[in-house]
Amino acid sequence: MLVPAPRGELTSALLTVLQDGPQATAEQYGKLDGAAGRVLAGSADVLRDDDLQLALFLLYELHYSGLDGVDADMEWQPELIRVRRKLEAAFEAALRQAVPVPAAPSPEAEEVAQTLFKLAADDDGPSVSRFVARHATEDQLREFLVLRSVYQLREADPHSWAIPRLAVGRAKAALVEIQADEYGGGRPERMHSALFARTMEGLGLDTTYGRYLDRIPALVLASSNAMSLFGLNRRLRGCIAGHLAAFEMTSSIPNSFYARGFKRAGYGPDVTFYFDEHVEADAVHEQIAARDLAGGLAEAEPELLEDILFGAATVLTLDALQGAEQLEAWKEGRSALLENSPFRVDAQALDAAAAGAGVMA
């Protein structure tokens, strides 16, 4: 992944260590640890703290495809793991304080599924999808894709951490079934991340992972970080199962609105196929995720039920927080992306690229 610019004392110290790699000194690690302590002590809102969320995102990225120019051995550098755990503890505490969790039903698959379906149905958060369907401008459609690219260009990867963390049984089989579809059923061109990249290309956007990271706000990073937190910590396997269940259960209808918005702007099937595909796929996945994954896990490990519900509720809470900020910016005629970064959207250049990609008139 491309390395972004620092957003404060913490990311500046972290990037210095990462760039020096195995040659990083004890003094540099001391500065990093001190910066982490000061940022944690002084942060007014962990979820919206750009410096903290970017640092956590970069530390997690070491466990995915890595960072350009950063030695692969840094993934398991003990001091980096120690700093990550400090940031994780504060992040998890902030999530547990911010996320309202419904009362737990009995740990039976159908009861758990019905609780999750009710949780999704009762969600009254701001609807970015309806705004996209009815009002989004050309620039806002591009911003929407840029904001989503942090997750969609590696779609399924965070949830796949859960596969080896679940015991053989109903929940694990359900998770593998869902993930197999996400990865295209063995056809690389059908991987959902590849389909999303095709949508971005249709609007003239760069699909290099991390290309737009300098413009991504903290709450979007927090959504990605929550998945990594849940997936990379075995004790939180209930959270990642519940997260995926809610993710699938709240996807089908919004994707139909997203498709409508891009069609309204004149884009054809090459751009809208990603959204159309999810309308059908996620309608099936939501049943498997709610009953077999979340419900099956609750039956097998009842002690995880609270975390299953917390993971599901986290999706809705973070989506609502991020959606509110995004819609507020758009309705006020502002960009929903960060402005104080080296990167700027060149609308004229993007229009030319989109035209060359075959946008329908």
Structure-model confidence comparison of residues 126 and 68, the more confident one = 68
Nearest to 204 by CA among 358, 46, 324: 358
Residue 9 has pLDDT above 60, yes or no: yes
Q: How many CA atoms lie within 13 A of 166 on its CB side?
A: 31
Taking the C-alpha atoms of residue 284 and residue 293, their distance in angstroms, rounded to an integer, is 13
Tokens of 101: 């969790």
Residue 6 has pLDDT above 50, yes or no: yes
Residue 8 gets the label, from left (phi > 0), alpha (psi -120 to 50) or beta, of: left
Nearest to 259 by CA among 272, 277, 278: 272
- Per residue in 76-125, pLDDT tens? 999 999 999 999 999 999 999 999 999 999 999 999 999 999 999 998 87
- Per residue in 22-69, pLDDT tens? 999 999 999 999 999 999 999 999 999 999 999 999 999 999 999 999
Of the ranges 248-252, 309-313, 350-354, the best mean pLDDT one: 309-313
Which residue blocks in 183-268 are alpha helix, DSSP H?
192-202, 218-232, 237-249, 252-264
pLDDT of 340 reads 59
Residues 6+ apart with CB under 8 A from 94: 45, 46, 47
Residues 6+ apart with CB under 8 A from 184: 190, 191, 192, 194
Nearest to 152 by CA among 162, 161, 144, 164: 144
DSSP assignment, residue 294? I
Percentage with pLDDT > 70 across the chain: 94
pLDDT of 251 reads 87
**Exposed, middle or buried: residue 354 (CB in 10 Å: 0-12, 13-18, 19+)?**
buried
Q: What is the mean pLDDT of residues 267-283?
A: 88
* 231 close to 99: Cβ distance less than 8 angstroms: no
- Per residue in 143-161, pLDDT tens? 999 999 999 999 999 999 9
The pLDDT confidence band at residue 357, using thresholds 50, 70 and 90, is: very low
Residue 296 has pLDDT above 50, yes or no: yes
Q: What is the dihedral of CA 83, 85, 89, 90, to 10 degrees?
A: 20
Residue 349 has pLDDT above 60, yes or no: no
Nearest to 358 by CA among 203, 205, 197: 203
Q: What is the mean pLDDT of residues 150-179?
A: 96
Instruction: Report in angstroms the alpha-carbon separations of 308 from 38, 210, 230.
Output: 33, 30, 10
Percentage with pLDDT > 90 across the chain: 88
Check the CA dihedral 148-6-67-33 and report its sign: negative
pLDDT of 152 reads 95
pLDDT of 92 reads 98
Q: What is the dihedral of CA 305, 307, 311, 312, to 10 degrees?
A: 20
Residue 358 has pLDDT above 90, yes or no: no
pLDDT of 359 reads 35
Taking the C-alpha atoms of residue 169 and residue 185, their distance in angstroms, rounded to an integer, is 21
Residue 310 has pLDDT above 70, yes or no: yes
Q: Please give the mean pLDDT across all residues of the chain.
A: 92
* 345 close to 276: Cβ distance less than 8 angstroms: no
* 53 close to 225: Cβ distance less than 8 angstroms: yes
pLDDT of 344 reads 39
Tokens 């896990």 belong to residue: 297
